Chains A and B, each alone.
Chain A
Amino acid sequence: DIQLTQSPSFLSASVGDRVTITCRASQGISSYLVWYQQKPGKAPQLLISAASTLHSGVPSRFSGSGSGTEFTLTISSLQPEDFATYYCQQVNGYPFTFGPGTEVDIK
């Protein structure tokens, strides 16, 4: 199975900060990487697919980059509604796997 790690696991930031979350894969997955946002008690929501394609309706302050084994999710200017947990998922090979998540909290 392809293992995903995320760093940091927890991040405390202020409104307006630039935030970067890293997702690393145990083997190369080309650009088959998805990012989701999940708020407490809610279903995850798609942010980015294919490593860098912003889902329709997602604010442009979110961006994704990377390929192979290292990927990043960047929020250019953190907004109050962005405080949530972020998960990466690889869809390169079965079984699909998720990263452990990064919780973004208010400083």
Chain B
Amino acid sequence: QLQLQESGPGLVKPSETLSLTCTVSGGSLSSNTYSWGWVRQPPGKGLQWIGNIYYSGTIYYAPSLKSRLTISVDTPNNHVSLKLSSVTAADTAVYYCGRLGSSLQLTDWGQGTLVTVSS
């Protein structure tokens, strides 16, 4: 079973770029059979879909984030990356990565990482 773990700076200044890594263990991204998703959750609020990256290379982003967002797969290092530029306090959230199953569900989740945007 795959294990996922998000990592990154817990504190980011406004206008800077948030960079997160989702490290995958128990499977190799070089097999090109996995697809991935990112979800975030502002403190005390519900889940917000951020984007998906498929093994085919196709990527979909949430329209509200699309202009600032980049999701990619780093095959040699076996991780999935998220970069969100020009962050504001509204981007403060727990960020989760997950593996997509065949019905587009997030089957395996990381434990999440809290990112706070503050000066």
Contacts and interface: CB of A to CB of B under 8 A. Distances in A.
**Mutual binders A and B:** yes
Contact of A43 (B62, B63, B111): B111
Interface stretch (B8-16, B45-53, B75-83): B45-53
Interface size class of chain B, counting residues whose CB lies under 8 Å from the partner chain: 20 to 34
* Overall SS of chain A's interface: loop
Interface string B28-51: 000000000101000000111100
B73 to A, nearest CB: 19
A38 B106 CA distance: 13
A59 interface: no
Interface size class of chain A, counting residues whose CB lies under 8 Å from the partner chain: 20 to 34
Interface string A33-47: 010101000111110
Interface of A: 1, 32, 34, 36, 38, 42-46, 49-50, 53, 55, 87, 89, 91, 94-101
